[in-house]
Amino acid sequence: MSKPGPVESLTEEEARRELARLSAEIRLADAAYYREDDPHLSDAEYDALRDRNSAIEARFPHLKRKDSPSERVGHEVSEAFSKVAHGVPMLSLDNAFADEDVAEFVARIRRFLGLDDSESLTITSEPKIDGLSLNLTYEAGVLVRAATRGNGQVGEDVTVNARTIEDIPEKLGGKTWPDKIEVRGEVYMTGAAFKALNASQEEAGKKVFANPRNAAAGSLRQLDVAITRSRPLRFFAYAWGEVSEPFAATQTEAVETIEKWGFVTNDLFKPHETVDGLLEAYRDLAERRAMLGYDIDGVVYKVDRLDWQERLGFVSRFPRWAIAHKFPAERAVTKLESIEIQVGRTGTLTPVARLTPVTVGGVVVSNATLHNEDEIARLDVRPGDMVEIQRAGDVIPQVLGVVDPDDNRAPPFEMPGECPECGSAAVREVDDKGEEDVRRRCTGGLTCPAQAVERLKHFVSRKALDIDGLGAKQIELFYGHGVVKGPQDIFRLADRIEAAGLPPLSEWEGFGETSARNLFAAIDARRSPPFQRFLNGLGIRHVGETTSGLFARSYLKWENFWDTVKKASQGEEGAEADLLSIDGVGQTAVTSLKDFAAEPHNQDMLTALLDEVDVEDAEAAASDSPVAGKTIVFTGTLEKMTRDEAKSRATALGAKVSGSVSKKTDIVVAGPGAGSKLKKAEELGVQVMSEDDWLELAGL
């Protein structure tokens, strides 16, 4: 199909085709919105289609179709409910978007009524409720029929369903009312009720609703009235249709009267004398919108005097005496240009949608978050798709889903297995319960530019290398100048500065002779970092201060430890079991260590770093204890303390507690019920002792 251009440049033939297309498209959109309660267009897009249709009709009036959307309100009625004709048609409201449109609306009314500037014109404002309109017919003060708007002339009979709504009186209260009256208003659902409904729908594996409006519509149009009754629907009365006799002189008076009859009316209804007053009400409601507890999509302005409403009358589908001042659309459809991966400062890979810029809620949006790969799979969004996006307040825009995916889409998106910043492997962690983290993380740590600054700050921090005078500020400074990119560069700082062609540190702003000298001295003082601090400083996930301490006290020598880690990362089960046998060390930490060690960037960094520093051996915590440095295995039932306590006491004395017996085992402490481990110890000739003997030996 040819690409439709701006209305001004359409040829007659193009205009004819365009009107046919728009008629069909609006009909489809109406059906989805009104009949299926499942809109596929945003309000803004829908309005744009109708506006374009009207603009083409204005330019080519003779091409206006018999089935023109500008003559249609809403949809054809659904077959499931019987049809009822409204006493007076239910019309729609024209839209205003800009302040100028409101000024023009008021000016038009003044012109139409021939009011001069000195004559006051009261116009009311009230929220435009985002629900579905309902027409309630009362005869002799009794509810006889409830009907949806339908196509404006004929609606659906939902009387039994409407009777379940508490806000709708069965009988009119107050003293007098017209013998026959159609009271009109909006059925809606509060935000809280909508959330609760969706939660229970989801739990029951049933369809969840896209928004409160759809939930309200779906709940009202139920063939099973028990379902409608179970749904907390509300109703605001704001208008009327057919009346057997006049019952008020102004909109204000009418609304007050309707309220006296027992309806709920909106308490944000207000009269105004000026355009500025209307605009102030609009801004006020826009601000309070999020706190109202129910959805509104604009403000409705109405001429207060009913005799003037009568004189103003209607143009096609809209009254001249009212207009809807819409809030800017907060959803829009645009093209997903690409999916890019951002790496956060702690290594999390976040997919970001790059969009063809589009205005959402008055703001141009060109990026939206896709959260993680599971979310992308759930939405099945692919580059090139048209996507619906949503912007709520200051929140980062979100992608809601794909609109009309076509057949030649890109293949499903796959999250990269490597970090786009540094090329290191990016992995999803599996926790001790076997559950996969939704986030994918870069294993590059210190070698990844996206993470480097944070990691370097950690490396020099108090619980790691603890370098005096080298804190977050200095790291940022050195990193910014490109002289410290990895931890090894800290120990070559003077050379790196010189190689970069920068003046010596003593000449830098904020440094003098003394502070530069002190900094170099502080760095040199850390050339033999203790095992625990060094390991902690590497910033490997799940290997923090405590776990680093466990490894240090267990392996004592860095080389022994790192050898084991490397072997484990190459798949040696014995090595992995060795790491895991340490009390307090879990699979998560070991997997994370293996991932780190398997990454070539990390290997290179570590080699360079170890060229600069000698990791100091850890000391067995209590080297004078006879069990220090010994590998102990507990088996059978312990009677004096729990297994956990026994392990932690032994570790505190510098022993290494293992879960399995091997040649390396020094002592097996066997309680009642000891089985295979005891047997193995005997076979290997490992020393076996009772719990009491152990307590005595350990001095406990």
List, by residue number, the catalytic residues: 128
The pair phi, psi for residue 364, each rounded to 5°, is -80, 125
User: What are the CA-CA distances from residue 345 to residues 453, 588, 602 (Å)?
Assistant: 8, 21, 17
Segment 106 to 135, residues that bind ligand IVH, using CB under 6 A? 126, 128-129, 133
Q: Strands 386-390 and 398-403, how do they pair?
A: antiparallel
Minimum Å gap between C-beta 134 and ligand IVH is: 9
Out of 91, 183, 370, 668, which residue is the one contacting ligand IVH (CB under 6 A)?
91
Q: With CB under 6 A as the contact rule, which of the stretches 85-93, 244-252, 419-427, 627-635 interacts with ligand IVH?
A: 85-93
CB of 10 to ligand IVH, least distance (A): 28
Closest to ligand IVH by CB, 126 vs 330, is 126
Contacts of 519 (CB under 8 A, 6+ apart): 468, 469, 470, 474, 493, 505, 511
Output the residue with the shortest Cβ distance to ligand IVH.
133
Nearer Cβ to ligand IVH (96/650)? 96
d(CA 255, CA 340) in angstroms, rounded, equals 54
The single-letter code of the amino acid at 162 is: A
**Helix 472-480 to helix 449-460 angle, to the nearest 10 degrees?**
140
Does position 92 interact with ligand IVH (CB under 6 A)? The reply is: yes
The b/e string for 565-588 (b: 16+ C-beta within 10 A; e otherwise) is bbbbbeeeeebbebbbbbbbbeeb
The residue among 322 and 402 lying less far from ligand IVH, judged by its C-beta, is 322
Give every CB contact of residue 57 below 8 A, 6+ residues apart in sequence: 19, 63, 64, 68, 70
Nearer to ligand IVH, 150 or 654 (CB): 150
User: By C-beta, is 149 or 231 nearer to ligand IVH?
Assistant: 149
Our CB check for ligand IVH shows the closer of 238 and 531 to be 238
Find the shortest distance in angstroms from Cβ 164 to ligand IVH.
20
3-state secondary structure 83-104: EEECCCCCCCCCEECCHHHHHH
Residue closer to ligand IVH by CB (options 95, 690) is: 95
Which listed residue (7, 10, 26, 93) binds ligand IVH by CB under 6 A?
93
Nearer to ligand IVH by C-beta: 47 or 375? 47
Closest approach of ligand IVH to the CB of residue 261, in Å: 17
Q: CA dist 40 to 34, 43, 228, 273, 524, Å?
A: 11, 10, 24, 39, 66
Q: How many residues bind ligand IVH (CB under 6 A)?
A: 14
Indicate left, alpha or beta for 8 from its phi (over 0: left) and psi (-120 to 50: alpha).
Answer: alpha
List the x/- string, 200-239, binding to ligand IVH by CB under 6 A.
Answer: --------------------------------------xx
CB of 305 to ligand IVH, least distance (A): 16
Interface region with ligand IVH, contact rule CB under 6 A, candidates 14-22, 91-99, 117-125, 590-598: 91-99
User: What whole-number distance in Å separates Cα of residue 150 and Cα of residue 83?
Assistant: 9
Nearest approach, Cβ of residue 471 and ligand IVH (Å)? 59
Q: What Å distances lie between residue 549 and 44, 338, 429, 464, 613, CA to CA?
A: 60, 45, 23, 11, 19
Provide the b/e sequence for 277-314 (b: ≥16 CB within 10 Å): ebbebbeebeeebeeeebbbbbbbbbbbbbebbeebee
Residue 97 near residue 142, CB atoms below 8 Å: no
Shortest Cβ 327–ligand IVH spacing (Å): 13
674 by Cβ neighbours in 10 Å (0-12 / 13-18 / 19+) ranks as middle
CB atoms within 10 A of CB 344: 14
Least separation in angstroms between residue 90's CB and ligand IVH is 6
3-class secondary structure, 302: strand
Quick check: 399 and 353 in contact, CB under 8 A? yes
Comparison of 10 and 93: residue with beta carbon closer to ligand IVH: 93
Looking at beta carbons only, is 319 or 445 nearer to ligand IVH?
319
Beta bridge partners of 331: 390
Q: Tell me the per-residue interface mask from 45 to 84 with ligand IVH, x by CB under 6 A, - otherwise.
A: ----------------------------------------
440 CB neighbour count, 10 Å cutoff: 24
Cβ proximity of 356 and 337 under 8 Å: yes
User: CB of 48: closest distance to ligand IVH in angstroms?
Assistant: 15
**Shortest spacing between CB 592 and ligand IVH, in angstroms:** 55
Q: Which of positions 294-323 make contact with ligand IVH (CB under 6 A)?
A: 300, 319, 322
Q: Provide the minimum distance between the beta carbon of 31 and ligand IVH in the complex, in angstroms, as a whole number.
A: 17
What's the closest the beta carbon of residue 81 comes to ligand IVH, in angstroms?
A: 18
Q: Which residues contact 532 (CB under 8 A, 6 or more apart)?
A: 545, 548, 549, 551, 552, 618
Which value, to the nearest 10 degrees, does the dihedral of the CA atoms of residues 192, 193, 195, 200 take? 140
Residue 9, strand partner residues: none
Rank residues 86 and 441 by Cβ distance to ligand IVH and give the closer one.
86
Contacts of 142 (CB under 8 A, 6+ apart): 170, 171, 172
Rounded-to-integer distance, Cα 263 and Cα 274, Å: 29
CA angle 366, 372, 375 (to 5 degrees): 90
The answer to whether 182 and 86 have CB atoms below 8 angstroms apart is yes
From candidates 186, 304, 373, 583, binder to ligand IVH by CB under 6 A: 186
Q: Which of residues 236-265 bind ligand IVH (CB under 6 A)?
A: 238-239
Rounded to a whole number of angstroms, the minimum distance from the CB of residue 103 to ligand IVH is 20
If the CB atoms of residues 266 and 569 are measured against ligand IVH, the closer one turns out to be 266
Residues 132-161 that bind ligand IVH (CB under 6 A): 133
b/e map 506-544, b = 16+ CB within 10 Å? eebeebeeeebeebeebbeebeebbbbbbbbbbbbbbbb
Kindly report the CA angle at 356 between 350 and 361, in degrees rounded to 5? 90
CB of 30 or CB of 126, closer to ligand IVH: 126
- Judged by phi (left if over 0) then psi (alpha if -120 to 50, else beta), residue 671 lies in beta
Tokens encoding 591: 């997997």
Residues that bind ligand IVH (CB under 6 A): 91-93, 126, 128-129, 133, 186, 238-239, 300, 319, 322, 324
